[in-house]
Amino acid sequence: MLSAGDPSGARCFARKVAGRGWYFQFAREPIFVTSFAPCYGAENPRYQFNQHPESCFILFQPEESFLRHDLPPDKPRRETNWDHPVDIRDRIRSNFRRHGREYRIPETTQYPPAEFIVAPLEALNDPPVRFWES
């Protein structure tokens, strides 16, 4: 629905969503999208902490906000310094892990972003949720 209503006419969901170069955009602005729902247990990074148990929510965050906050470039899982975080990415990843909510981090920075919008119930073991397929 959002893609169809995009004032730029880009209609990002009309393109091949599973591809590595696909990303969600609205009005030609790239947007990071993630979702949270009551179906995720306390060990899942998408856990809602029992807030609004009858609904889910979707976060739309302009990619520009990462630049404004000087977030370092993405890096593969193997380059994460888990024990002695050296940057904000390491700190975020380590914090999620320390609290038992580790999330899947690819071993490459060239991955399809759509596979991370809706997390699987078993964040580290289940395959990606291909929500865009019928």
Instruction: Write out pLDDT tens, residues 30-64.
Output: 999 999 999 999 999 999 999 889 999 999 999 99
For the chain, what is the domain count? 1
| 67 within some domain | yes
Whole-structure pTM value: 0.88
Chain segment 2-12, per-residue pLDDT in tens: 889 999 999 99
Q: Which structural domain range is residue 44 located in?
A: 12-116
Residue 134 lies in a domain: no
Are 31 and 25 in contact by the 8 Å Cβ rule? The answer is: yes
The yes-or-no verdict on residue 77 having pLDDT over 90 is yes
